[in-house]
Amino acid sequence: MDANPVLEFTEHAEELAKGLSAVALAGEDLWVASDELTSVERLTLRGGEAFAGQRSFELDVSLKGPLRLPAVGKTRPDGKEVDQEIDVEGLDVEGGYLWVVGSHSLKRKNVSVEKDRKDDDEKNIDKLRKVEAEGNRYLLARVPLVRDEHSGESVLASASPDGTLTAAQLDCTMTDSALTRAILEEDEGGKPDRHLSPWLALPGKDNGFDIEGVAVSGERVFLGLRGPVLRGWAVVLELHPQDEGPSTLGLKKIGPKGRRYRRHFLNLGGLGVRDLCIDGRDLLVLAGPTLTHDGPVRVFRWTGGAAESKETVVWPDEFAGVLTIPHGEGVDRAEGMTLAPGGNVLVVYDAPADERRVGASAVRADIFGAP
């Protein structure tokens, strides 16, 4: 595979070429997503140099029922339909499923240096006050991957032909999910999660609760948090989802004091998690700045991280290796990572630099040797 493979798009090309937020490689199929859409995309390796032949799957349409995006069908006070992205921040392929996770974060109104300087100060101050929840962001779902009987291509389906694989998701609403409710839930000691619950009220871009990355190994689902970073310590959550009903996933009680998740605290030098992928028993962690500024981007190898049986604290000298990923000023922000052949990692970017763009509808990824 080429060291800088081209990703070619024919649908949603503008959104995808200008910013990818998640990636997962399965054989010769590359699954990617943009945080501005409600779809996931499949590309296929062509000649070792490019991924092309795009197929786009709208998650609320392609599956015809099993999955539910909370904002779909909702209307605003003016009668117009609510239009909300999923803010897809993580993809992984495991056990015949594509796993998809949204950020689960609140959103603060943006004030753009480029666009809003013409507005008066009072108006911009008011914009910064506005914080909202977007229901589609609370998605955590698994979707069966099956072979199309005509083309032989890998496609998403509501169930496998033999019925052994079925689409399912954590319960979610316009303002929360089963995971965020579990964080607020009182444990056996009568307390909500004192590490994480205060941050659910803060927007992701303010170091609030913000999922960016998913990695799956058997029954274990790992979620990387971009925020909060607690006194320099990043957090990885471990869930063990289980079927609770048709198309519904629940969370097993696996943590201390009956919690429905485990927390792993990683000292990444003050960086937050941007993505995760599993390499055997190890967990590879793509890390970058928590807030919206440029800064170091690194990949850490957490030895045995995918096989831990308790909550852990991982010190800087316990990482088996560290890889530095180049970044630009306001461009080339590494957002997604997946394991590639030869023990390498493939990385995709948000805000790609002009030299990374290939025309209006294609962009280059990078392949690095894993740490």
Q: Which of 7-16, 55-64, 85-94, 124-133 has the lowest mean pLDDT?
A: 55-64
Amino acid 163: pLDDT: 92
Q: Tens of pLDDT along 182-226?
A: 999 999 989 999 999 999 999 999 999 999 999 999 999 999 999
Average pLDDT over residues 269-283: 97
Amino acid 122: pLDDT: 85
Q: Which of 57-61, 92-96, 105-109 has the lowest mean pLDDT?
A: 57-61
Domain locations along the chain: 61-348
DSSP string across 128-150: HH-EE--GGGG-EEEEEEEE-TT
pLDDT at 346 over 70: yes
pLDDT at 246 over 90: no
Amino acid 173: pLDDT: 94
- Distance, in Å, from the CA atom of 113 to the CA atom of 293, rounded to the nearest integer, reads 13
Kindly report the number of other CB atoms within 10 A of residue 169's CB atom. Answer: 23
* pLDDT confidence bin for 65, thresholds 50/70/90: confident
Average pLDDT over residues 65-87: 77
Q: Which of 22-31, 65-74, 88-97, 330-339 has the lowest mean pLDDT?
A: 65-74
pLDDT at 117 over 90: no
> Residue ranges of the alpha helices (H) in the chain?
13-18, 121-129, 178-184
Residues 6+ apart with CB under 8 A from 225: 209, 210, 211, 212, 234, 235, 236, 237, 272, 273
With a pLDDT cut of 90, the percent of the chain lying above it is: 81
pLDDT at 91 over 80: yes
What is the pLDDT of the chain when averaged over all its residues? 93
pLDDT at 243 over 80: yes
- Distance, in Å, from the CA atom of 53 to the CA atom of 363, rounded to the nearest integer, reads 14
Amino acid 75: pLDDT: 66
Amino acid 78: pLDDT: 65
Amino acid 244: pLDDT: 93
Q: Which of 59-73, 146-160, 221-235 has the lowest mean pLDDT?
A: 59-73
Amino acid 81: pLDDT: 66
Largest separation between any pair of C-alpha atoms in the chain: 61
Sequence-separated contacts (24+) of 37-42 with Cβ below 8 Å = 37/12, 37/85, 37/86, 37/88, 38/69, 38/84, 38/85, 38/86, 38/136, 39/12, 40/88, 40/91, 40/98, 40/100, 40/156, 41/9, 41/11, 41/12, 41/16, 42/153, 42/154, 42/155
Q: Pairing between strand 333-340 and 321-325? A: unpaired
Question: Which one has a higher pLDDT value, 13 or 71?
Answer: 13
pLDDT at 293 over 80: yes
Amino acid 112: pLDDT: 74
Amino acid 369: pLDDT: 96
DSSP string across 268-332: -TTPEEEEEEEETTEEEEEEE-SSSS---EEEEEETTGGG--S-EEE-GGG-SEEEEEP--SSS-
Question: Which one has a higher pLDDT value, 48 or 278?
Answer: 278
Q: Tens of pLDDT along 5-22?
A: 999 999 999 999 999 999
Average pLDDT over residues 293-306: 95
Amino acid 84: pLDDT: 82
